Amino acid sequence: MKKFIVVLLFIPLALLITQCHRNVKTQKNMSSVTQTTLDSTINQLVAKYGAPQKEKITKGVTQAAALWIKTDGKDADFKNFCLQNYLGDNKSLDQLFQRLLVNFEVINGRFNQVTLDLKRPLHLDEGEMIPIDDVFGAYDPFSHLNDDFFTNKIAFTTILNFPFYTLKEKIELSSNWDRKQWAYARLGDLYTSRVPADVLQKFSDATTGADTYISGYNICMGNLVDDKNQTYFPKEMKLISHWGLRDELKSNYQGEKGLEKQKMIYQVMLRIISQEIPDSVINNPAVQWNPYSNKVTKNAKEINNAAEPDTRYENMLGIFKALQGIDKYNPQYPTYIQRKFEQEMEIPQAEVEKLFIDFISKPEVKQVAKLISSRLKRNLEPFDIWYDGFKPRSTISQEELDAKVQAKYKSTTDFKNDLSNILVKLQWTKEKADYITSKVVVDPARGSGHAWGTMMKGDVSHLRTRVPAGGWNYKGYNIACHEFGHNVEQTLSMYDVDYYSMAGVPNTAFTEALAFIFQKRDLDLLGIKNDDPNKEYYQTIDNFWSCYEIMGVSLVDMNTWKWLYEHPKATKEELKAAVIANAKDVWNKYYADVFGVKDCPILAIYSHMIDSPLYLSAYPVGQLIQFQIERYIKDKNFANEIMRIYTYGRAIPEVWMKHAVGAGISIDPMIKATDEALQKVSK
């Protein structure tokens, strides 16, 4: 559900974030190798292996030279290294390829296990945290790997024999590549920059600190009061921001005092965004708080309500500063924005932004908003961006849903034991279901929940979901279904993909797509059937409205990172003002006319903005992919299609989508289906 699924990719998280594409001109500026030596080395290798290998030789030698610095050796050392280690015959090249895959899997897999275990106190609800947990959790075993492999020349051997291809080149050449050539190309993505270990460690420290901050950001809902000193939530209810608050708001479209509860949650969100929330009420069950007046009381006496000191934005700024340290080692893509989209997502940021703006500007938005208003029998409120009434569960009370979950699952162990049965219900054979679920472990999360995948065969993926003190509830189960979708992808794309360098999916949006597909089936898996003949139409409208909401959130995220790069010396106070201004700007452009309210900052509430920079775009892109997959497999065997699609591995998005559904990522299928659905349900 969060950034932890990124570690599934063949490239370790630390390396994934720090790679870049470089051109020859930039390479020369950073290299200690002279042009004369570069040309001589290329010429000798071409003379030895022939003109057909000239392009590959030129790529490999040039890219290796770009990262060769004085401490690696003199020009003669570079030339001798290339002449001795370039493999011009297919047999030797394939032997190297196979050995690299085996050894990278060993290293990545073990380091991933170390990372997972050291973060256990931070991620799992297994007792009180102590200060040393943050220190161990921030330690990144991957941080020195880049340095070590350049020093021992493993990186240079890889670059020389498996050169890097740009996204443009991959698109142009992909139709002629077989699977092994794709696997070769993915090895070429590994070493295209050289970021020092201490710089990577600073990034790990910043992200771990932000994640710890978010994981412990809970609101004691039973201690919230309004101006009449009334409470609306159970005494023991404690919700994490933003996930718990948002999901509780969604659940209150049914039930007593639902609107009052939603308005109170909305007010809490506004206080968090503005950082007017009193520091003393965060994760503190000993005080009462009125989010409207912002007064805090303890034992019926008013106490100091000093605001949280912009800690939210301080953490975000800390990550930005850590990434600035990485930027200078990536001259071709010198900003995190470029690396996130053009390198990691392999879709340019401008294309993603245009996709989102085109979608949320469609006239269907106002038509769906009008339908929601008529169903609610009131004017829309800003928090109705999370309207949940099109889902089958919207007609069932939260208490009934909780009871259904608690009757079936007394603990996460019960859920783990039922995973195989869940897959059988989704058309997997019992044998294949047992195979997949034997590689998944279920843990109680300290935060909202996430999926963390394995990076080697023989290891397991982890499903984390929050388990409240009063027992597992529907919210936890719903999240667990989402995370289980990730785990299924993680298992199939690791164990059933032909080459280790192809393990995973093109980017996080593709694993989010399968997580959404599983989450959508949560009630069916509980045995709650929906016989409404219009259910598919309502599901389409629900998908549309969900995309409308999260695309706006993602635009705020992108605009904020653009602002950060325009104001690299910003303070946390200036960043807070910018985030709020960006949120209001996006709202006023694409939401104000729909909701009849201007200058609303609610799109800035998502916690991903604080601890998972620029991750949010994966959700709406994932929802578009989900919709296209769902439409394609509608009349086919679910399990067979999911296995066919998700064992294809980490090709680029365009190639992956054409394999999956025969077309690239597009908003058109969902827009067309929404038009049809609106016509049907409006009759």
Of 145, 168, 196, the position where a domain reaches its end is: 196
Q: Residue 142's pLDDT is what? A: 87
CB 221 within 8 A of CB 210: no
Judgement on whether residues 222 and 290 belong to the same structural domain of the protein: yes
In a domain, 204, yes or no: no
Q: What is the mean pLDDT of residues 584-613?
A: 97
Rounded CA-CA distance 192/67 in Å is 8
If you compute the radius of gyration of the chain from its CA atoms, what whole number of angstroms results?
A: 26
Half-sphere exposure of 132 (CA within 13 A, CB side): 0
Judgement on whether residues 116 and 235 belong to the same structural domain of the protein: no
Judgement on whether residues 73 and 187 belong to the same structural domain of the protein: yes
Inform me whether the pLDDT recorded for 485 exceeds 70. Answer: yes
Number of domains comprising the chain: 4
At residue 117, what is the residue type? D
What 3-state DSSP class applies to 671? helix
Inform me whether the pLDDT recorded for 21 exceeds 60. Answer: no
Q: Residue 169's pLDDT is what? A: 92
Q: What is the mean pLDDT of residues 505-533?
A: 91
Of 526, 560, 589, the position where a domain reaches its end is: 526
Q: What is the mean pLDDT of residues 268-282?
A: 98
Q: What is the mean pLDDT of residues 407-433?
A: 94
CB 137 within 8 A of CB 215: no
Judgement on whether residues 242 and 173 belong to the same structural domain of the protein: no
Q: What is the mean pLDDT of residues 644-672?
A: 97
- Residue-wise pLDDT for 159-176, tens only, equals 999 999 988 899 999 889
Instruction: Return the percentage of the chain with pLDDT > 70, whole number.
Output: 95
In a domain, 205, yes or no: no
- Residue-wise pLDDT for 436-467, tens only, equals 999 999 988 887 678 999 999 999 999 988 87
Q: Which residue has better confidence, 69 or 331?
A: 69
Q: What is the mean pLDDT of residues 68-82?
A: 96
Rounded CA-CA distance 262/376 in Å is 13
Sign of CA dihedral 572, 575, 581, 582: negative
Of 262, 285, 312, the position where a domain reaches its end is: 312
In a domain, 467, yes or no: yes
Q: Residue 13's pLDDT is what? A: 32
Q: Residue 30's pLDDT is what? A: 64
Rounded CA-CA distance 28/32 in Å is 8
Q: Which two tokens stand for residue 515?
A: 């997580």
Residue length, the chain?
683
The region of weakest confidence among 411-420, 427-436, 653-662 is: 411-420
In a domain, 346, yes or no: yes
Judgement on whether residues 298 and 415 belong to the same structural domain of the protein: no
What secondary structure letter does DSSP report for 344?
Answer: I
Residue 4 confidence class, pLDDT cut points 50, 70, 90: very low
Q: What pTM did the predictor assign?
A: 0.86
In a domain, 206, yes or no: no
In a domain, 579, yes or no: yes
Q: What is the mean pLDDT of residues 497-506?
A: 97
In a domain, 209, yes or no: no
Q: CA nearest 366: which of 591, 550, 555?
A: 591
Q: Residue 611's pLDDT is what? A: 94
Q: What is the mean pLDDT of residues 130-157?
A: 91
Q: Supply the mean pLDDT for the chain.
A: 92
Q: Report which secondary-structure segment, H or E, holds 111.
A: helix 90-118
Q: CA nearest 123: which of 536, 441, 540?
A: 441
Judgement on whether residues 561 and 613 belong to the same structural domain of the protein: yes
Rounded CA-CA distance 663/620 in Å is 17
Q: Residue 683's pLDDT is what? A: 63
Residue 568 confidence class, pLDDT cut points 50, 70, 90: very high
Q: Residue 129's pLDDT is what? A: 87
Q: Which two tokens stand for residue 340?
A: 């996130």
Judgement on whether residues 508 and 583 belong to the same structural domain of the protein: no
Inform me whether the pLDDT recorded for 544 exceeds 90. Answer: yes
Q: Which two tokens stand for residue 107?
A: 């290293």
Half-sphere exposure of 281 (CA within 13 A, CB side): 31
Judgement on whether residues 545 and 568 belong to the same structural domain of the protein: yes
Judgement on whether residues 220 and 283 belong to the same structural domain of the protein: yes
CB 273 within 8 A of CB 580: yes
Q: What is the mean pLDDT of residues 99-120?
A: 95
- Residue-wise pLDDT for 222-267, tens only, equals 999 999 999 999 999 999 999 999 999 999 998 889 999 999 999 9
Q: What is the mean pLDDT of residues 257-284?
A: 98
In a domain, 78, yes or no: yes
The region of weakest confidence among 135-144, 153-162, 303-312, 479-488 is: 135-144
CB 62 within 8 A of CB 27: yes
What 3-state DSSP class applies to 334? coil
The region of weakest confidence among 93-102, 408-417, 536-545 is: 408-417
Inform me whether the pLDDT recorded for 20 exceeds 80. Answer: no
Q: Count the Cβ atoms, other than its own, within 10 Å of residue 640.
A: 14
Residue 22 confidence class, pLDDT cut points 50, 70, 90: very low
Q: Which domain holds residue 159?
A: 3-196
Rounded CA-CA distance 545/70 in Å is 56
Sign of CA dihedral 228, 229, 233, 237: positive
Judgement on whether residues 297 and 286 belong to the same structural domain of the protein: yes
Q: Residue 122's pLDDT is what? A: 87
Q: Which two tokens stand for residue 494?
A: 């690791």
Judgement on whether residues 53 and 192 belong to the same structural domain of the protein: yes
Q: Residue 24's pLDDT is what? A: 34
Sheet-wide strand order for 461-466: 440-445, 461-466, 449-452
Judgement on whether residues 276 and 342 belong to the same structural domain of the protein: no
